[in-house]
Amino acid sequence: MKVLHAQTMSEQMSSKPGFIAALDQSGGSTPGALRLYGIPDSAYSGDDAMFKLMHEFRVRMVTSPAFTGDKVIAAILFEKTMDGQVGGKPTPSYLWENRRVVPFVKIDKGLEAEKDGVSLMKPISGLDALLERAAKLGVYGTKERSTITLASKSGIAAIVDQQFDLAAQVSKHGLMPIIEPEVSIKSPDKAGAEAILLQELTRRLDALSDGQVMLKLTIPDKPNLYKPLIEHKRVQRVVALSGGYTRADACKKLAENDGMIASFSRALVQDLRVSMSDDEFNRALAEAIDEIYQASTVKV
C-alpha cells in the first residue's frame, strides 16, 4: 500500500496541474506570519503558545473547502506541523487521505552568516532520525533552503554543492528533496546570480547517475531562464518561491515562465486574517488559490 501511495504521489508531483502551498514557517518566521494574520506578539507568551496559534491557522487553511489536490497538489510543512494532528489524524495522513495533497517537510535549521555572497545552511542535527520519522508518517519529500545575495561563482557553487550533498542523504530515505537556493529579489545583480546558479545546478544535475530532485527557485528576471532545468531528466519539477513579491507581482512573473509552478508562502496567505468569519476566510483563501493556480497553469 505504501509503495502504491508513493507512486501515486510521484505521478501527482511529476505532472498534475497545480501548485505547492508552503506552510513551513518555523520558529524564526512564525511571529511575522502571525502578525500578518492579525495576531500580535502580545497575544501569546512563549514558543508553545506561538506554535499552537500557528497550528490552528494551518488547520483552518488545510480544512478549508478550497484546499484540495484539485489545485493545491502539495504542501510543505514545518516539523511541528508534521508531528501534529488535523481532524484526529497525523497531519500528513490528513493531507493525503482527506485532501489528496502531497505532504513535504522543511528540514533546514536556518542559515549561517553570509559569506562570499551566500548563506549556507546550518548543520542539521538529528537529520536521519527526522527523515525516518517523516517517511513513517507518509511524507513524500523534504525542503531545504539557503540564500544567494551576490553573483559570486564560488559562493553559488558552494551553495549548490551543499544542497546536492544533503539531497543525496534525503534520497537514501526514499524521500524527494526540494533543493531551494533562493536568490534574493534585492540582489544588486539578480540576473547575474541566476545565470551562475543555472550553470551550477546543471553541473550537479548532469553528474547524477540516478534518481531525481525537485528545485525551488526565485522567479528569474529573464523569463524561461530555467527551462533547461525543467526539461532535465533528473528534475521532477521546478517550483517558484514568491520571495517577498506581492501575490499579484509573483503571479504575473510566474505566468511568464513555462512549466514552472508556484510554491508560495506569504503570497498565499497575505489576505487571510484571524478576525474573518469562516465564510470570509474560505472565500479569501479560494481567491488566492485560484489566482496562484492560474499563474501556475496558464502561461502568457
Residue pLDDT, tens place only, 151-205: 999 999 999 999 999 999 999 999 999 999 999 999 999 999 999 999 999 999 9
Which of 80, 143, 190, 216 does the annotation list as catalytic? 216
Alpha carbon 220 to its chain's center:
17
Which of 180, 182, 194, 200 is catalytic? The answer is: 180
The Cα 22–Cα 111 span in angstroms is 18
71 is catalytic: no
**Which pTM does this prediction carry?**
0.96
Structure confidence at residue 187 (pLDDT): 97
Q: Is 180 a catalytic residue?
A: yes
Residue for cell digits 525516518?
A: 132
Grouping H, G, I as helix, E, B as strand and the rest as coil, residue 41 is helix
Cα distances from 183 to residues 204, 231, 243, in angstroms, run 18, 21, 8
Return the beta strands (E) in the chain as ranges.
19-23, 72-77, 85-86, 89-90, 102-106, 118-119, 141-148, 176-183, 213-218, 235-241, 261-264
Residues 68 and 97: beta-carbon distance below 8 Å:
no
What was the pLDDT predicted at 2?
57
Query: How far, CA to CA in Å, does 222 sit from each of 192, 226, 257?
Result: 10, 9, 9
CA 144 to CA 142: how far, in whole Å? 7
User: Is 2-297 assigned to CATH 3.20.20.70?
Assistant: yes
**Residue numbers in the chain where pLDDT is lower than 70:** 1-4, 26-28
Q: Residue 3: its pLDDT value, please?
A: 57
Residues in the chain: 300
Q: What is the pLDDT of residue 1?
A: 38
